[in-house]
């Protein structure tokens, strides 16, 4: 697709909020979000005693969609899919609502079934995380969709008749939730979960979608004073949810609104949502609670794209595709970043064998770091290291955890020991044991190898390493001119010498004529 001429809009009409998001897709950059507009509508609050969405609620819906239509006309986006979820799906007068909106705005609303809503959430998760087996929970305002997938295959799905807004409306009689109300909520939610035996004690991660989960993850980030940006795939433990619950229980509504990470427009419904998540954690016996930024809207778009571009949406290559899309933002092709990668891995493997360095547990990160090395040079050549580190610690990269993204950032931005020390100082609480030294040493290897490939088309064909008593000899076999490579190797060998703690001798051997130059 062309990024600008094939923009598509999704209008997500939820029970709590209504969003307009404009996307495009192209194989180089992937799925790109251009605009994101939100209105807190609380449609489920307008369901009356007869089960109808009352006139006030319909007017809120009309006014919001009217504004969104004006925006779409202004930015000239014609492809629009308007999806309605629980609030309208559960309304007795839903057909009248669809006809009314169609008549007033010419906009066709599609009411998603509970199964479709669950499926789209699942689809977004498997295409944006590397988690192979998990339970997904998409808590909206009026319903909660859950799925179980194993090795990324959908096994079970179910829709529960409650969400953050409806739980608040049913169980909270004032601005603060009492202990007795929490007990009543717990009893009700457990009754709903009891028949779902496939959910009980499966001991897999929970991946949570939606605004309530996002806010809880953001609050945890603030509590831990996390200096690493990015919320997608952010992970919490049950003890973290307990700590947040304890904090919230001491707060009035006004105090909740002031908590860092918690949106003020969600403060009044966050406690029932949090307590429900805790019940899910207990029922599943989940080892972790992971937030997914990708959800219903992305799932709808993906359902249209996967069939058209199956090779570009391999669920087992999420991180690989995401890294390729980072390159695409700067019009860089992956194959152009892998020059001398075989030379690098030869040095890396030999250094491990000789105990100069320790291997990364996940060697896929090694390749990603090599591919993304100094990606920041496309912003400013002179500040390539700084821009690389900033970009990679701030970008959302699907399929990578925050910790993995940090490791890649430290490797891909390596300049020297002092700069590395400056970068890593804010993240000592994330890296364990000697992880920092390991990354520093491997970063030095990448810096050396990338540095000698001056023109991106080096004539170096292979390398041999010889370990002597007092020095390390690197012999490069070349097929052609090697003047620039020799100059750079001599200049950058100091990075290797700091790793091996001895002198490094560089030799270039011209393969065709067996000419040596040292």
Per-residue pLDDT of the chain (518 residues; tens, 9 = 90+): 333 348 999 999 999 999 999 999 998 999 999 999 999 999 999 999 999 999 999 999 999 999 999 999 999 999 999 999 999 999 999 999 999 999 999 999 999 999 999 999 999 999 999 999 999 999 999 999 999 999 999 999 999 999 999 999 999 999 999 999 999 999 999 999 999 999 999 999 999 999 999 999 999 999 987 778 889 999 999 999 999 999 999 999 999 999 999 999 999 999 999 999 999 999 999 999 999 999 999 999 999 999 888 888 999 999 999 999 999 999 999 999 999 999 999 999 999 999 999 999 899 999 999 999 999 999 999 999 999 999 999 999 999 999 999 999 999 999 999 999 999 998 888 888 889 999 999 999 999 999 999 888 778 999 999 999 999 999 999 998 899 999 999 999 999 999 999 999 999 999 764 444 44
**Euclidean distance between CA atoms 154 and 170, whole angstroms:** 32
294: left (phi over 0), alpha (psi -120 to 50) or beta: beta
- pLDDT value at position 518? 44
Per-residue pLDDT, 311: 85
Nearest to 443 by CA among 344, 321, 314: 344
- Closest C-alpha to 441, from 518, 362, 351, 322: 351
Distance (Å, rounded) from C-alpha 311 to C-alpha 124?
A: 17
**Rounded CA gap, 313 and 309, in Å?**
7
Q: How far is residue 170's CA from residue 274's CA, in Å, rounded to a whole number?
A: 15
Q: Show the tokens assigned to 77.
A: 């986006």
* pTM exceeds 0.95 for this model: no
| 3-state helix, strand and coil shares in percent for the chain, rounded to the nearest 5 | 50, 20, 35
> Could you tell me if residue 152 is left (phi over 0), alpha (psi between -120 and 50 degrees) or otherwise beta?
left
Q: In what order do the strands lie in the sheet with 109-111?
A: 30-40, 17-26, 8-13, 79-84, 109-111
CA distance 479 to 459: 5
- CA–CA separation, 452 vs 482, rounded Å? 10
Helix or strand (DSSP H, E) at 155? strand 153-160
Closest-CA residue to 146 (of 288, 318, 38, 276): 276
pLDDT of residue 4: 38
Q: What are the CA-CA distances from residue 295 to residues 118, 209, 302 (Å)?
A: 10, 6, 10
Domains and CATH numbers, the chain: 8-112 (3.30.420.40), 115-297 (3.30.420.150), 319-517 (1.10.3210.10)
* Distance separating alpha carbons of residues 278 and 368, to the nearest angstrom: 35
- pLDDT computed for residue 5 by the predictor: 44
Length of the chain: 518
Among residues 73, 285, 109, which one has the least CA distance to residue 200? Answer: 285
| Residue pointed to by tokens 């393969």 | 511
Q: Look at residues 148, 285, 290, 126 and name the one whose alpha carbon lies nearest to residue 206.
A: 290
């Amino acid at each position: 697709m062309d990024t600008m001429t094939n923009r598509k809009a999704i209008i997500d009409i939820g029970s709590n909020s209504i969003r307009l998001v404009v996307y495009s897709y192209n194989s180089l950059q992937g799925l790109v979000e251009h605009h994101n507009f939100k209105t807190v509508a609380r449609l489920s609050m307008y369901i009356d005693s007869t089960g109808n969405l009352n006139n006030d609620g319909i007017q809120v819906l009309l006014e919001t969609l009217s504004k969104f239509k004006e925006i779409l006309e202004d930015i000239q986006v014609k492809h629009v899919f308007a999806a309605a979820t629980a609030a309208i799906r559960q309304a007795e007068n839903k057909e009248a609502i669809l006809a009314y909106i169609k008549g007033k705005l010419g906009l066709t609303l599609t009411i998603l079934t509970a199964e479709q809503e669950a499926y789209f959430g699942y689809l977004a998760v498997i295409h944006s995380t590397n988690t192979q087996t998990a339970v997904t929970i998409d808590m909206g305002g009026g319903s909660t969709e859950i799925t179980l997938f194993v090795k990324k295959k959908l096994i079970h799905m179910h829709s529960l008749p409650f969400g953050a807004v409806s739980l608040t409306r049913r169980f909270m009689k004032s601005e603060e939730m009492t202990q007795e109300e929490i007990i009543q909520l717990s009893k009700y939610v457990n009754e709903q979960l009891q028949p779902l035996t496939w959910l009980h004690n499966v001991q897999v991660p929970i991946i949570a979608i939606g605004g309530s989960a996002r806010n809880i993850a953001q609050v945890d980030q603030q509590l831990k004073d996390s200096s690493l940006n990015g919320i997608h795939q952010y992970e919490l433990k049950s003890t973290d949810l307990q700590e947040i619950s304890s904090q919230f229980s001491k707060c009035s509504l006004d105090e909740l609104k002031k908590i860092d990470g918690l949106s003020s427009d969600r403060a009044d419904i966050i406690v029932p949502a949090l307590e429900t998540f805790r019940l899910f954690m207990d029922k599943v016996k989940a080892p972790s609670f992971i937030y997914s930024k990708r959800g219903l809207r992305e799932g709808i778009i993906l359902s249209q794209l996967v069939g058209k571009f199956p090779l570009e949406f391999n669920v087992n290559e999420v991180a690989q595709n995401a890294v390729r899309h980072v390159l695409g933002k700067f019009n860089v092709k992956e194959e152009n970043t892998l020059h001398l990668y075989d030379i690098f891995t030869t040095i890396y493997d030999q250094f491990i064998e000789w105990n100069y360095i320790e291997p990364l547990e996940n060697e896929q990160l090694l390749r990603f770091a090599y591919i993304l090395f100094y990606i920041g040079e496309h912003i400013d050549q002179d500040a390539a290291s700084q821009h690389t580190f900033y970009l990679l610690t701030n970008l959302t990269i699907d399929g990578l955890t925050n910790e993995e993204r940090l490791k890649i950032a430290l490797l891909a931005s390596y300049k020297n020991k002092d700069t590395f020390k400056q970068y890593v100082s804010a993240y000592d609480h994330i890296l364990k044991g000697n992880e920092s030294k390991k990354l520093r040493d491997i970063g030095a290897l990448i810096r050396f190898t990338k540095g000698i490939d001056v023109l991106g088309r080096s004539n170096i064909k292979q390398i041999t390493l010889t370990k002597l008593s007092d020095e390390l000899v690197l012999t490069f076999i070349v097929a052609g001119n090697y003047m620039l490579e020799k100059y750079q190797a001599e200049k950058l060998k100091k990075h290797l010498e700091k790793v091996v703690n001895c002198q490094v001798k560089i030799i270039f051997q011209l393969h065709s004529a067996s000419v040596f130059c040292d």
